[in-house]
Structure 1
Amino acid sequence: MRSHGLQTRQVQLVDGNGIDFKTGKVLLNNITNSRPFDWTVAGEARLYDAMLTPEGLAEIKTYAEGIGPWKAYIVPLKIAPWKDSNADGTPYKGSTPEASTQDATSLVADAHKLGLFVHVFTFRNEKKYLAADYRGDPSLEYLKFYRLGVDGVFSDFTHTGVAARAAYLRELGW
């Protein structure tokens, strides 16, 4: 992009296709959401999670200043205890409001070690997008990520993100 004259900071987005709530792992099982399109065209077999390894982050550093990972790569979500089926016998899949947050991964620290900033996506206010730990309060989710050291967030509800950031800065005494 720079060879075409772009003179701005660049962020490599790192997507996923869903969450396996039994294991807490990000699903990468859809060709559309599991790897960058240019990798698909080039016949590259790697998936987005390859970008989050030390080698992948170092590669990103050669062309971008930051990463924009999906939230679940930083704070995994899991449902425990897990049930295999619903009362009617259909397979149980779970949902975000039933899931609990797990210990954070080292992704923020790993990216920062290389000088990459971290802008996480996408924060929303609706309860159906919030893990059980947040008790329906989206500001608790923002605060969790700010406390983990993210540099910014992508949000569909700017006012909530800004208010949570102000609360976080007050916690720090700013």
Structure 2
Amino acid sequence: MRQPTTCHDPCAIPWARSRRERSAAPLIFAHRGACGYRPEHTAAAYELAVAMGADYIEPDLVMTADGVLVDRHEPDISETTDVADRPEFAGRRRTKGVDGTVVTGWFVDDFTLEELRTLRATERLGELRPGSARYDGRYPVMTFEDVLRQRADLAREYGRPIGIIPEIKHPSYLRELGHHPEAEVTRLLEEHGLNDPGAAAWVQCFEPSALQNLRTCGYRGHSLLLTEVGGAPFDLRAQGTTCADLLTPAALQDVARWADAVSPQKTQVIPWTTDGRLGEATRLVADAHAAGLAVFPWTFRAENAFLPRDHRIGDDPAAHGRLVDEVVAHLDAGVDGIFCDHPDLCVEARAQFLGGN
């Protein structure tokens, strides 16, 4: 059996009010696996993430024409599979409205699972991640159940708990197609022994109604509300509610009635200055903790293209900059965990942070 890279318990929620009062180490969520090194949402990306010490793996969930939850970033699979190079599917290219946005491409919901199984994953950010792009065409599309089984296998292989944190993508869109993603997520977590508050499992979504629907479906585990700068949850857009509106102190008290954490875009925790440098932390972490919510910002990536100006090294957008320093700054701000594309560097940042306590 391989030796575990870390000994952190993914069932333990840090609930930190400050770095001195932290009850558990901050959690490392492997965003779509170790997708800085392997094509996202593949078995190879998840295995590498666990080998690097991640506490949780994160699958994004959409649904096939025959109602199966599969692991893709969006309903449109043009950039994450080789479907555009498959002449037998040329006629499946469509233009659709997804949550108010017009999208042209190939959509998971126009394929059966059997058809999707013939496709192979590709790197979505090939120009920034040529090392990952070398693995294009090697790995099939996974179902959510595939990922659940792999999680259990990896936990046995590495001899430590491995958590899972699926994101339900575009649930309003899926419900319009006649699917019920919340019920299917709950069913599969129940079948795999993860529908329990003590399990290392969370469900996340940008739409509050989906997290609330989970409870009516019998979901008993942890849930996580995602937010973004300048965005609005699709299910609340008609009433004019923005993500920022959900992060006020009063709103966070309400969110805590049906969720256990918030996952803001990282610049909602520490904004960038007008010249693109890392600025000063907001009160979001303190306000969320006061409401009893954990805080898990997204997404930390090593490439200069995704880093604040003062954390870049050189001018090459694809070169790695000072991600470790950026992560440590957010851990210093009191966040309870982070979503990252490069788990090894985020594990290093956590060790540096804990070593400085």
TM category (shorter chain) comes to 0.7 to 0.9
**CA-to-partner distance for each residue in 1:126-151, whole Å, 9 max, x for gaps?**
01111123242100000000111100
Match for 1:164: what amino acid? A
Q: Which of the numbers 67, 77, 80 marks the counterpart of 2:262?
A: 67
Paired residue secondary structure (2:299): strand
Match for 2:285: what amino acid? V
Shift of 1:159: 1.1
Q: Which of the numbers 209, 216, 233 marks the counterpart of 1:36?
A: 233
Match for 1:115: what amino acid? G
**CA-to-partner distance for each residue in 1:58-109, whole Å, 9 max, x for gaps?**
11111001000001111111234xxxxxxxxxxxxxxxxxx11221100001
Separation in structure 2 between the aligned mates of residue 107 and residue 9 of structure 1, nearest angstrom: 20
Q: Which of the numbers 279, 296, 302 marks the counterpart of 1:119?
A: 296
Match for 2:350: what amino acid? R
Who is 1:148 aligned against? 333
Q: Please, which runs of 5 or more residues in structure 2 have no aligned partner? A: 1-213, 313-320
Q: Which of the numbers 265, 269, 282 marks the counterpart of 1:105?
A: 282
Aligned residue pairs total: 136
Shift of 1:170: 0.8
Paired residue secondary structure (2:226): strand
Separation in structure 2 between the aligned mates of residue 79 and residue 105 of structure 1, nearest angstrom: 15
Separation in structure 2 between the aligned mates of residue 114 and residue 79 of structure 1, nearest angstrom: 30
The two structures have a TM-score, normalised by structure 2, of 0.37
Match for 2:227: what amino acid? V
Match for 1:132: what amino acid? R
Shift of 1:114: 1.2
Q: Which of the numbers 43, 47, 58 marks the counterpart of 2:242?
A: 47
Who is 1:165 aligned against? 350
**CA-to-partner distance for each residue in 1:30-73, whole Å, 9 max, x for gaps?**
xxxx2112113xx2111110011012111111100100000111
Separation in structure 1 between the aligned mates of residue 311 and residue 328 of structure 2, nearest angstrom: 10
1:4 aligns with 2:217: yes
Percent identical residues: 33
Match for 1:130: what amino acid? L
Separation in structure 2 between the aligned mates of residue 79 and residue 67 of structure 1, nearest angstrom: 26
Q: Please, which runs of 5 or more residues in structure 1 have no aligned partner? A: 17-27, 29-33, 81-98
Match for 2:226: what amino acid? L
The two structures have a TM-score, normalised by structure 1, of 0.75
Q: Which of the numbers 228, 247, 251 marks the counterpart of 1:15?
A: 228
Q: Which has the larger radius of gyration?
A: 2
Separation in structure 1 between the aligned mates of residue 233 and residue 332 of structure 2, nearest angstrom: 29
Output the aligned Cα RMSD: 1.2
Who is 1:57 aligned against? 252
Separation in structure 2 between the aligned mates of residue 44 and residue 161 of structure 1, nearest angstrom: 38
Match for 1:36: what amino acid? P
Q: How does 1:82-97 map to 2 (within 5 A)?
A: none
Contact 2:271–2:279 (Cα < 8 Å) also in 1: yes
Shift of 1:155: 0.7
Paired residue secondary structure (1:168): helix
